Structure 1
Amino acid sequence: ARAAAEVAAKPSRLADTTVTVQGRISTVCQKKGCWLALDTGRAMPIRVLVPRTDDGYEFTVPTTLAGEATVTGTLRTVELDSATQNHLAEDGASSARAREVQIAATGIRVVPDA
């Protein structure tokens, strides 16, 4: 697994590839548990999105989840419109920005805080 800070520093090198990233969970969606963010230190957090199906989400995470996460999925950098930024802020994002690094997760493993 690559460190979240390493991936966030140069995300373009890994764009549209399957990656495994490890980092501390900094924020979780407070409405549905449909995303979490990995702390990267000085860089913007990496938002981890859970996969969607026609019926909803394949899985969600507890809104109280805390600890170290290892995430596998497709990495991308996306531009967020103001409506999406506002939506993420309502969900509990600490600072929804116009541009962010995301991972469309296929799996998440968490070692919870004791």
Structure 2
Amino acid sequence: MKNVVILCLIAIFTVACNQTDKKQNDESEIETESIAMATEYSSIGDEISSEDVMTTEEIAEKYKSMKPGDTIAITFKSKVNAVCQNKGCWMKMDMGDAESMVKFKDYGFFMPKDLAGAEVIVGGVAFVEEMSVEDQRHFAEDAGKSKEEIAAITEPKRTLSFISNGVLIPEDYQNQ
């Protein structure tokens, strides 16, 4: 009889511990989901995922090892430094000590002109190219640079470039 009582107590204790662990796991899952949902995004262009996104530092390292002609399909998150003030047809994104010129596949979509300062997620193809003086001047004009600043552009330069097929913009980007 004594053994039966001990077995019952062990069974009750085991069930009670499992219920506590399950409750803690459920609370942990809810907390993780809350963190993941902390930033709601609006999608522009093709649907892209907010999972497996590279950081600014990670993409900057990738760019350092690339030569003109190299390409890599990636998704990364970074701060928008500037947006074309004509149509929103390009944006410059922070790469730490440089910027990446982001254009949109087939001019199929455009960014809000007031997006500078927001952190966005872009998906597409990263590459390095030599940008001509003419193209540099065109983009400087689109960015609203002065005539003097535009005239000072006299040499081609190595540029970090990106063709995006989709962008995720924080729904509250105006508040950033």
Q: TM class by shorter-chain length?
A: 0.7 to 0.9
The alpha-carbon distance between structure 1 residues 80 and 63, as it changes in their structure 2 partners (threshold 3 A), is same
The reply to whether residue 87 of structure 1 matches residue 87 of structure 2 is no
Alignment of 1:1-114 (within 5 A): 1-11=53-63, 12=66, 15-42=70-97, 44-52=98-106, 57-66=107-116, 67-92=118-143, 98-111=157-170, 112-114=173-175
> Tell me, which stretches of 5 or more residues in structure 2 are unaligned?
1-52
What SS does structure 1 have at the residue aligned with 2:139?
helix
1:91 and 1:106 mapped to 2: Cα distance? 21
**Can you list the C-alpha shifts for 1:24-78, whole angstroms capped at 9, x where unaligned?**
1110011111111111222x111111112xxxx2111111113111000011001
Structure 1 residue ranges, 4+ long, deviating more than 4 angstroms after superposition? 93-97
**Can you list the C-alpha shifts for 1:60-97, whole angstroms capped at 9, x where unaligned?**
11111131110000110010110001001111188987
**Higher relative strand content:** 1
**Higher relative helix content:** 2
Task: Give the TM-score of the pair, scaled to structure 1.
Answer: 0.83
Aligned CA-pair RMSD: 2.3
8 Å contact from structure 1 (residues 28, 93) kept in 2: no
What SS does structure 1 have at the residue aligned with 2:60?
helix
Task: Give the TM-score of the pair, scaled to structure 2.
Answer: 0.56
Structure with greater Cα Rg: 2
**Number of residues of Structure 1 aligned to a counterpart in Structure 2:** 108
Larger RCO (alpha carbons 8 Å, 6+ apart): 1
